[in-house]
Amino acid sequence: MKKAPLLMLVGLAIAASFVTQSCNKNDNPSTPVVLTLYDSLGGTAMVTDPTNSAVKIEAGRLGIRSVVDSTIFVIAADTAINPYFSVLLSEVGAGNLSGFQELSLNLTDFFCVATGSKNFTYKGLNMTDAHNPATNSRMNGKAAGDDFDAFIADLVIGAHKNAIPDNLIGRIGAIVETLRSQVVQM
């Protein structure tokens, strides 16, 4: 994805956000009901976890986890940035999924919190430390600006694989853009 299409999605997201705030009003017109992005992704409604029918999961979290897992697979196949994930990929290649599961959990928690969920906590490294090889030995090198663009492109592919609408992808993209200066460290 080039920057222009993402910018279009972000613009669409801002417009959609305005419409959402304008249209979702309760009985008191002075107190608009503002949906968070997490709400728009499914929110707190409990649904059956497709990976374990005995478990219920918030629909918003399930949507985010699905996008995260799809995106990890897209990144794993993306030679533009998969060398940064060499530790993870060698583990998975050896049949050890523990790092993948932890990354999936951390990224899912991170995006749940970032999109407005109050029910989850991100327990991983801050974004600067997570992307500095000196503080995270799982990060194989410092990312440059074009790596960040490739990451966003892979995230958009992961979101499309899960039928996330473009206006919501744009809102996710807007959040991700705010983190560029912490992730890109060269």
What is each CA distance from 15 to 6, 7, 12, 135, 153, in whole angstroms?
14, 12, 5, 39, 22
Site residues for ligand HEM, window 89-108 (CB under 6 A)?
99, 103, 106-107
Site residues for ligand HEM, window 61-90 (CB under 6 A)?
81, 84-85, 87-88
Residue (of 118, 111, 120) closest to 158 by Cα position = 111
Establish if 38 lies at the interface with ligand HEM (CB under 6 A). no
CA–CA distance, 182 with 130 (Å, rounded to integer) = 9
Considering only residues 10, 41, 57, 143, which one is a binding residue for ligand HEM as defined by CB under 6 A? Answer: 143
Q: Which is nearer to ligand HEM, 57 or 75 (CB)?
A: 75
Q: Quick check: 42 and 58 in contact, CB under 8 A?
A: yes
3-23 and 166-177 helices cross at what angle (nearest 10)? Answer: 110
Considering only residues 138, 160, 161, 162, which one is a binding residue for ligand HEM as defined by CB under 6 A? Answer: 138
Residues that bind ligand HEM (CB under 6 A): 81, 84-85, 87-88, 99, 103, 106-107, 110, 124-125, 130-131, 138-139, 143, 147-148, 151, 176, 179, 183
